[in-house]
Amino acid sequence: MKFDSRRSSVLARNGMVVTSQPLAAMSGLRMLMDGGNAIDAAVATAATLNVVEPGSTGAGGDVFALVWSAKEKRVQALNASGRSPAAASLDELRAKGFTEIPAESAYSITVPGAVSGWAALLERYGSMPFSNVLEPAIRYASEGYPVSEIISTHWIRNFEKLKSHPSGAELLLDGGRPRPGDVMRLPELADTLQTIAEGGADAFYRGPLAEKIASYVQQQGGWLSAEDLADHEATWDEPISTEYRGLRCWQCPPNGQGVTALMALNIAEGFDIESMGFQTTDTYHHLIESVRLAFADGFYHVTDPAKMRVATSDLISKRYAESRRGLIDPGRALGTVSTGLALARGDTVYLTCVDGEGNACSLINSVYMGFGTGLVVPTTGLALHCRGVSFSLDPEHPNALEPRKRPFHTLIPGIVTRDDELWLSYGVMGTVQQAQGHLQVLTSMIDFGLSPQEALNAPRFSVRPGRSWDDLNLEDLVPADVVDGLRSRGHAVTVREPLALFFGGGQIIERDAGSGVLRGGAEPRSDGFAVGW
């Protein structure tokens, strides 16, 4: 059974860009057509998304990326997530009665790492300067663009958050809600992007702009200082990976939740998913239970890699997956799930670009919740993210708030290789939906042979760990017999509309190593758009 939309996969050979907004995809394609490579296209696309989808992403957020170098035939991982301020204090927040960090407070602001990530990508793998790749974003911000229906809905949902702060009006239309078709101009953001285009990352992390960011955060009661910004740097890391049915699946290492996606794949690999059938009760049950077990470890253990208390290699080992797999009852949902390893005490955008040479950039850029904290640095158009909300205020927790520490991150780009050649550059947005979204689209393509677009069209489940471990959400496209079958096995099922806000938004590019043909799929639950040439 396949779930078709009116879309089919997009095919091209010279290059392709897939992301959540058509104007941004075209900015990336323009770089490719002007002689740039996949990395140039990725940064141009990310910067344009900052303008046309500012509630989800931007220079005030963080970036993770995987890069496939066709020449080197290797994957590299970029971590451009920011650290907590040097003055961050768990004791201060607990003394004020907080049990968690408020998302709309200045306490949740860590150093925004996105611009450092854009710069690191261009410096190591790009062929164009900032002045070229930021030009489309600057033009849209200064000259204006029409707001789409879906992005307007997101904007309106966050209107009160922005309106509650005087400078939030910089991201509103004459102080009001942008409606579908309204032409939106963001002149303050255009000036900020122009500053970056001319001065690079240094113009963001040092000098007047950095001082302005730090001063505003401190006015709002936060800890971020100009020194925190100046001390920030993005890091290139060795990616982590596992093999699933003979294909190598790559993720960024912690502090992202890519380890969770790999754990789920390892657990699921021990089941004959193909023989269970596509979109059947058995397949759903075993994938859901694999996800729940992976979440139990990922949400507890993942934090700043320098602060991890267990080895990532232990978490993603096949031996550990085998022990966890043994907990799954094929006829009954698991009860409460906890980590299996003993401890040593002591809203988002995704884009993928592949060029004609076979280089790929799988990139995710986010301000976390809608418009992040809702705090917009005056005269800059910069909405500051709230990624610090992911820190725990339990001093014994591995992810406890500490100075100069990277928090647990939901952001995970993905790449899959086959026989040491690029096969997929892909991702699925949506906080906790990301790791389980990776599992679902990969099993759809690997176990059931679906195309990129078919894999994205297929109904999804969403396990929501945290306060409601037993909460299983299914799209209303899931067959009724599957819904009933899962309930009979003890799953607490809620059926919901197929919205990207809840079930995630994915983008996929598949590459045929022999012919060089690119096949792209875009998220049908949003403005997802695949374009190639």
**For residue range 440-450, what is the model confidence (pLDDT) as tens digits?**
999 999 999 99
In percent, the amount of the chain with pLDDT more than 70 equals 96
CB 155 within 8 A of CB 148: no
Neighbours of 273 (CB within 10 A): 22
**Which has more confidence, 449 or 346?**
449
Residue 339: CA atoms inside 13 Å, Cβ hemisphere, count? 16
Is pLDDT at 64 greater than 90 in this prediction? yes
Task: Find out whether 268 and 287 touch, Cβ atoms under 8 Å.
Answer: yes
232 assigned to some structural domain = yes
pLDDT above 70 for 186: yes
- Residue 140: the pLDDT is 98
Q: Is 283 a catalytic residue?
A: no
Structural contact between residues 66 and 76, judged by C-beta atoms closer than 8 angstroms:
yes
The DSSP output letter for 95 is H
Is there a domain that residue 276 lies in?
no
Average pLDDT over residues 404-433: 94
pLDDT at 260: 96
Edge-to-edge strand list for the sheet holding 461-463: 461-463, 471-475, 492-496
pLDDT, average across residues 318-333? 96
Whether 325 is in a domain gets the answer: no
Residue located via tokens 């500012």:
54
Residues 38-56: tens digit of each pLDDT: 999 999 999 999 999 999 9
Q: Whole domain around residue 385: which residue ranges?
A: 20-236+348-390
Give a yes or no: residue 468 inside a domain.
Answer: no
Q: In whole angstroms, what is the distance from residue 66 CA to residue 426 CA?
A: 10
Residue 174 lies in a domain: yes
Answer with the residue of higher pLDDT: 346 or 509: 509
pLDDT band of 242, cuts 50, 70, 90? very high
Count of domains for the chain = 1
> Which is the catalytic residue, given 242, 348, 352, 410?
348
Binned at pLDDT 50, 70 and 90, residue 464 comes out as: confident
The three-class DSSP label of residue 520 is: strand
**Is 349 a residue whose pLDDT tops 90?**
no
Residue 314 CB coordination number (10 Å): 12
Q: Average pLDDT of the chain?
A: 93
pTM of the model: 0.95
444, two tokens: 């759809």
Residue 481 covered by a domain: no
Integer angstrom CA distances of residue 266 from 260, 275, 308, 406, 446? 10, 18, 21, 26, 14
pLDDT of residue 166: 85
In the predicted structure, residue 469 carries a pLDDT above the cut 50? no
Within a domain: 197: yes
Amino acid (one-letter) located at 365: N
In a domain, 269, yes or no: no
